[in-house]
Amino acid sequence: MISRRAFVKSAVAMAASAVSGRAGAAAVPEAPRMTSVVTQPPLAPSSGPDYRPVVTLNGWSLPFRMNNGWKEFHLVAEPVTRELAPGMKANLWGYNGTSPGPTIETVQGDKVRIYVTNKLPEHTAVHWHGVLLPAGMDGVGGVTQPHIPPGKTFVYEFETRESGSFMYHPHSDEMVQMAMGMMGMFVVHPRDPDFMRVDRDFVFMMSAYRIDPGASLPHVSEMTDFNLWTWNSRVFPGIDPMPVRRGDRVRLRMANLTMTNHPIHMHGHHFEVTGTDGGWVKESARWPESTSDVPVGVIRAIEFQADNPGDWPIHCHKSHHTMNAMGHGVRNFLGVKPKPALAKAVAKLAPGYMPMGSTGMAEMAEMAMPGPANTLPMMAGQGQFGPAEMGGMFSIIKIRENMSANDYRDPGGYDHPAGTVAHEVEDASAGKTSSEPASGAIEGAPPHGHEHHH
């Protein structure tokens, strides 16, 4: 049993260590900050080995500097304000001005030095999820290193061994800090740029929050009943589309730090899982999918050939995860006939009341009645043919001809070739059904056998 004192001493010597003193402070590179919520263009490396940079959905990549053969980054853990979609801001914790923090891009074999400054009110630590490194650099507060106290800067140093898709997140008061939105992607590019090469490489992290309607701070102790299912702390219609040039090979790296799995379904193409947070998947081990379940604490990198032009939704297939805040206790009012006298009576009690729900919930997306402050409608968004009626984990992959290689601007709605859109039938008789649909409520209690002798 090693004594605590000896343990602490050795931990300081061999683990992520505090930067102190003037010399230390002078050596720390500046920490860029970002306040924009739109997808930033890919950040091509200006020094060090070459790679094809990724595109972080509604996010950015962290600039670095080379210093004597070391690739140096500076992360600042701090409270941030994040717009989840226009009309709602959340008070979260993140890195360098955003939640999630910026994507860190390195190359296999890089000597990486990452400074972490803690501007949170409590201690923190950064764990490099999936990255193979010395134990003392693993970022587990108390276990592999001292926690980083508020106001202090620590430094992590390691050499990247394997290329792949990884992430970073706190391992110090982990439940609270992840529930507050602290996480980011950590990409290790292959040394050989032609290995696993793709034309477009999108990355995003999935996180979930429970923020009461009208409030702005997440419940950090929630375990199951989340009401905001986000990609990079954004919900539809706040999630940017992913523009793709027809013919491109596209990769999506999807990391899940929510507390449940997300079956991500993509329209218009089949894809394969080519990588996890454990590395690349051999070609012989892949199988085709149109939905890939992303479990908790896992990354799925999927790839497809963008050969089908159009606007193709990609979303979590749990229907509640493509909704924003909703009421799970709301009764079903389908089929309730409008009663003007009753509506008037309720409007007298609650001025402004209007009857809703008797035909379904779609009308709500169009009515736009005032809801609680800082709260998004359950479903929203507008497509070229009408309301999209979506929220949460939903985006659109927009595949177009004639885009330039590095163009990531939203190309607008897809211009469908003539005759390729579902449309109303002109001759109504063609759509006639042979029998009227059954109507009326089901009797609650079937008659007992002994009442009906046959």
Partner 1 sequence: MAQNRTAKLLQRPLSASAAVEVALLSNRGLQAAYNRLGVEDALRARESLPPNPTIAFSRVAGSLSSEIEAAVAADILALATLPARTEIADERFEAAKLEAAEATMRTGAEARRAWIRAVGAREKIRALEQAAKAAESAAKFADELGQTGAMNKLDQSRNQVFYAEVTTQLAGARQQALAERERLIRALGLWGSSLSFTLPDALPAPPAQPRELPAIEHEAVDRRLDLQVARKRLSVLAKSLGLTQSTRFVDLFELAARGKITRENVNGERVNFNDPGVGAVIEIPIFDLGETRLREAEQRWLESLNLLAEKAVNVRSQAREAYRNYRAAHEIARHQTREILPLYETITRESLRRYNAMLVDVFALIDSARRRMVATAAAIDAKRDFWLADVELQTAVIGGGRDPADKTASAAPASEAGGDQP
Residue 438 binding partner 1, by CB under 8 A? no
Segment interacting with partner 1 (CB under 8 A) among 74-82, 370-378, 389-397, 421-429: 370-378
* CB of 56 closer than 8 Å to CB of 204: yes
Residue 352 binding partner 1, by CB under 8 A? yes
* CB of 253 closer than 8 Å to CB of 301: yes
Instruction: State how far the Cα of 409 lies from the Cα of 405, in Å rounded to an integer.
Output: 11
* CB of 381 closer than 8 Å to CB of 323: no
Query: Quick one: 143 or 345, whose CB is closer to partner 1?
Result: 345
Instruction: State how far the Cα of 395 lies from the Cα of 266, in Å rounded to an integer.
Output: 10
The structure tokens listed for 431 are: 């759509």
Of the residues 327, 340, 431, 447, which one makes contact with partner 1 according to CB under 8 A: 327
Segment interacting with partner 1 (CB under 8 A) among 82-90, 119-127, 160-168, 439-447: 439-447
In angstroms, give the least distance from the CB of 319 to partner 1.
Answer: 15
Query: Quick one: 144 or 375, whose CB is closer to partner 1?
Result: 375
Short-list 57, 139, 62, CA closest to 96? 62
Of the residues 431, 437, 444, 449, which one makes contact with partner 1 according to CB under 8 A: 444
Of the residues 79, 371, 383, 387, which one makes contact with partner 1 according to CB under 8 A: 371
In angstroms, give the least distance from the CB of 224 to partner 1.
Answer: 18
Of the residues 364, 388, 393, 397, which one makes contact with partner 1 according to CB under 8 A: 364
Of the residues 143, 288, 307, 333, which one makes contact with partner 1 according to CB under 8 A: 333
In angstroms, give the least distance from the CB of 357 to partner 1.
Answer: 7
In angstroms, give the least distance from the CB of 27 to partner 1.
Answer: 51
Residue 362 binding partner 1, by CB under 8 A? no
Query: Quick one: 62 or 365, whose CB is closer to partner 1?
Result: 365
In angstroms, give the least distance from the CB of 340 to partner 1.
Answer: 12
3-class DSSP assignment, residue 168 = strand
Segment interacting with partner 1 (CB under 8 A) among 25-33, 174-182, 259-267, 327-335: 327-335
- Report residue 235: phi and psi, to 5°: -125, 150
The structure tokens listed for 317 are: 């297939």
Residue 23 binding partner 1, by CB under 8 A? no
Instruction: State how far the Cα of 339 lies from the Cα of 355, in Å rounded to an integer.
Output: 9
- Give the number of other CB atoms < 10 A from CB of residue 387: 14
Residue 348 binding partner 1, by CB under 8 A? yes
Query: Quick one: 349 or 425, whose CB is closer to partner 1?
Result: 349
The structure tokens listed for 268 are: 């218009």
372-391 footprint of partner 1 as x/- string (CB under 8 A): xx-x-xx-------------
3-class DSSP assignment, residue 342 = helix
DSSP string, 52-104: ---EETT--B---EEETTEEEEEEEEEEEEEEEETTEEEEEEEETTBSSPPBE
Of the residues 151, 336, 359, 385, which one makes contact with partner 1 according to CB under 8 A: 336
Core vs surface per residue 422-450: b (16+ CB within 10 A) or e: eeeeeeeeeeeeeeeeeeeeeeeeeeeee
Segment interacting with partner 1 (CB under 8 A) among 42-50, 109-117, 367-375, 420-428: 367-375
171-190 footprint of partner 1 as x/- string (CB under 8 A): --------------------
Residues 194-253 that bind partner 1 (CB under 8 A): 213-214
Q: What CA–CA distances, in Å, run from 369 to 212, 354, 373?
A: 18, 9, 12
* CB of 323 closer than 8 Å to CB of 379: yes
H-helix or E-strand spanning residue 348: helix 340-349
Residue 356 binding partner 1, by CB under 8 A? yes
Residue 340 binding partner 1, by CB under 8 A? no
* CB of 73 closer than 8 Å to CB of 64: yes
In angstroms, give the least distance from the CB of 325 to partner 1.
Answer: 6
Residue 409 binding partner 1, by CB under 8 A? no
Instruction: State how far the Cα of 315 lies from the Cα of 391, in Å rounded to an integer.
Output: 10
In angstroms, give the least distance from the CB of 436 to partner 1.
Answer: 18
Query: Quick one: 370 or 431, whose CB is closer to partner 1?
Result: 370
Segment interacting with partner 1 (CB under 8 A) among 104-112, 281-289, 323-331, 406-414: 323-331
* CB of 209 closer than 8 Å to CB of 228: yes
Is cis: bond before 100, omega within 30 of 0? Answer: yes
Is 70 exposed, middle or buried, given 0-12, 13-18 or 19+ CB atoms closer than 10 A? middle
Q: What CA–CA distances, in Å, run from 393 to 55, 206, 231, 256, 421?
A: 18, 8, 6, 12, 25
Of the residues 335, 386, 412, 413, which one makes contact with partner 1 according to CB under 8 A: 335
The residues of the shown chain that bind partner 1, judged by CB under 8 A, are 213-214, 325-327, 329-337, 339, 342, 345-346, 348-357, 361, 364, 367, 369-373, 375, 377-378, 441-442, 444
